[in-house]
Amino acid sequence: MTAPTKDPAEIYRRSFAIIRAEADLARFDGGAEAVVVRMIHACGMVDLADDIRVSPEFPGAAQAALARGAPVICDVEMVRHGIIPRLMPAGNEVLCLLNDPRVRDIASRDATTRSAAQVDLWAERMEGAVIAIGNAPTALFRLLELLDQGAAKPAAIIGVPVGFVGAVESKAELAASSRGVEFLTVAGRRGGSALASSAVNALAGGLEGHG
C-alpha cells in the first residue's frame, strides 16, 4: 500500500484541512485557532478542542513575549526537545531546569517532587517568560503558589500536564484563577509534552522571519 502523498507541505495542508473540517473551532479566534489546530495535529484527537480553555489575550501576549526575546521555560526535557529552534523569532532560549544540581536539595528540603522543586529556580527568569508545562501537575501547582507569593509574572502559561493524580486539579486551578497571567490549558486528564511543545511551535511559527 502506498501513501496518498509524500510531499510534506501537502501532508500538513491536508491534515490541517481535515482538522478544521472535523473539529468545532467556532469559539476560537484566529490566533487561538492556529494553536488549537496544532495541538490537535500533535495528538490526533479532534475532540480535544472541546476541552481547551484559553484566555482571550493569550496568543497575543505569548507571541509578543517571544518576539521580544523572552525565554521559554519547560517542566521537562521532552517539552524542550519538542520545541523547534528555527521557529524562535529572536533566537529565544528554551530551557528546562529539572536536571539542575540544586533541584535535588530543594526537593529533599521541601519534601516535594523534583518537578516542583525546579520551579523555585524559575523565579529569576520568569518575568515576561513563556511557561510550558506538559508533564508535571506538581510544577503547575508550585508555579501558582509562587505567583500567590508575589513572584514575577510570566507573559503566558501553557499548563497542560497529563495524568491521573493532580493533573485535573492543577489545570482546573489555573483556569479558575490564572493570577492575572494569560493562559492555555486542557481540562481533564489529557495533556502531555507534545501538546505543550506544539502550542509553543504554533505561537512561534506565526512569527517566523520576524525576529
In the block, residue with C-alpha cell 482571550? 56
Instruction: Determine contact, residues 136/159, Cβ cutoff 8 Å.
Output: no
DSSP code at position 153? P
* Per-10-residue mean pLDDT, the chain, length 211: 75 92 94 95 96 97 97 98 96 97 97 97 96 98 98 98 97 98 98 97 71 31
Residue 166: CA atoms inside 13 Å, Cβ hemisphere, count?
A: 13
Instruction: Give the length of the chain.
Output: 211
Q: Does 81 qualify as catalytic in the annotation?
A: no
Q: What is the pLDDT of residue 111?
A: 97
Please name the helix (run of DSSP H) or strand (run of DSSP E) that holds residue 53, with its range, or none: strand 52-54
Q: What span, in angstroms and rounded, lies between the C-alpha atoms of 151 and 123?
A: 7
* pLDDT value of position 1: 61
CA distance linking residue 77 with residue 159, whole number of Å? 15
Alpha helices in 44-92 (DSSP H): 58-67, 77-82
Cβ neighbour number for residue 23 with a 10 Å cutoff: 19
pLDDT, residue 47, reads 97
> By three-state DSSP, how is residue 146 classified?
helix
DSSP state of 129: -
In the 8-state DSSP scheme, what is residue 55? -
pLDDT value, residue 3? 62
What is the per-residue pLDDT for 5? 75
Q: Which of 78, 30, 28 is nearest to 48 (CA)?
A: 28
Query: What is the spatial distance between Cα 34 and Cα 178, in angstroms, rounded to a whole number?
Result: 22
Q: What's the pLDDT score for residue 12?
A: 85
Q: Which member of 41, 53, 125, 179 is catalytic?
A: 41
Alpha-carbon gap, residue 51 to 54, rounded angstroms: 10
